[in-house]
Amino acid sequence: MAVDAPQKEAKGGKKGLRRPKRRISIRIDMTPMVDIAFLLLIFYMVTTIFAAPQAMEINLPPKEKGEERGKVKRRNLLNIYVDGQGDIYYDIGRELTTDEDIKIPWPIPADSIRDLFARYNWERPKLNTLLIIHPDAKYVKMVDLLDEIEVVENVLRHNEEFTKSYKEANPDAGKFSFRYAIDHWTERHDKKIKKAYEAYGGGGD
């Protein structure tokens, strides 16, 4: 803050009993304030922690030479489809190759997926789940499905009745592990979902 010296009054003014007051003009120097603002800006830029990218770890089984793929029975294969709009469908059984025999999957709300996973894993201890996601679907849809799988796995692992039935059906296996895989979306899946649109509606245009 700077203070300017008072200006002298011009001579010849009116004389009175009171002496005229001297006015002092005040001028604020903003230069130090600018320096402080830049220092604070640099401080916050250096000390601020930005949001770290979120990543999901998926443990894959080791690939051994000469290993043969195990056969899965139709009744033990649960197919989950996520179309380009994010709608979810499911069916049980292997996918048939002929167009005439394509099985129409059933639609299911996203908030019912957890119950679906728990029910089928309970009824079929050798269940395998196949996630088939359209390339146009949002990435968060896959993340939500994997989260539901993790929740169901933790719940069933702590259920004594399920653990007993699971060990009886899988004597060579250790603790319960949710068996699932992610498959590529193909033209055959487009045909299956198209049939579902025709049967149940949906799919936009």
In a domain, 9, yes or no: no
In a domain, 105, yes or no: yes
The token pair that represents 130 in the structure block: 């196949």
In a domain, 168, yes or no: yes
Q: How many CA atoms lie within 13 A of 52 on its CB side?
A: 3
Does residue 98 have a pLDDT over 60? no
The token pair that represents 158 in the structure block: 């702590």
In a domain, 79, yes or no: yes
Tally of structural domains, the chain: 1
In a domain, 15, yes or no: no
Q: How many residues does the chain have?
A: 205
pLDDT tens figures, 173-192: 788 889 899 999 999 899 99
Q: 142-153: buried (b, 16+ CB within 10 Å) or exposed (e) per residue?
A: eebbbebbeebb
pLDDT-based confidence at residue 141 (cuts at 50, 70, 90): very high
Q: In angstroms, what CA-CA distances link 81 with 4, 119, 165, 192?
A: 79, 18, 28, 9
- This prediction has a pTM of 0.65
In a domain, 125, yes or no: yes
User: What mean pLDDT do residues 95-110 have?
Assistant: 71
In a domain, 189, yes or no: yes
pLDDT tens figures, 24-49: 777 777 788 888 888 899 988 888 77
- What domain range is 86 assigned to? 74-200
Using CB atoms within 10 Å of the CB of residue 1, give its burial: 0 to 12 exposed, 13 to 18 middle, 19+ buried: exposed
In a domain, 94, yes or no: yes
The token pair that represents 73 in the structure block: 């029975």
Greater pLDDT, 7 or 193: 193
Cβ–Cβ < 8 Å for 90, 110 = no
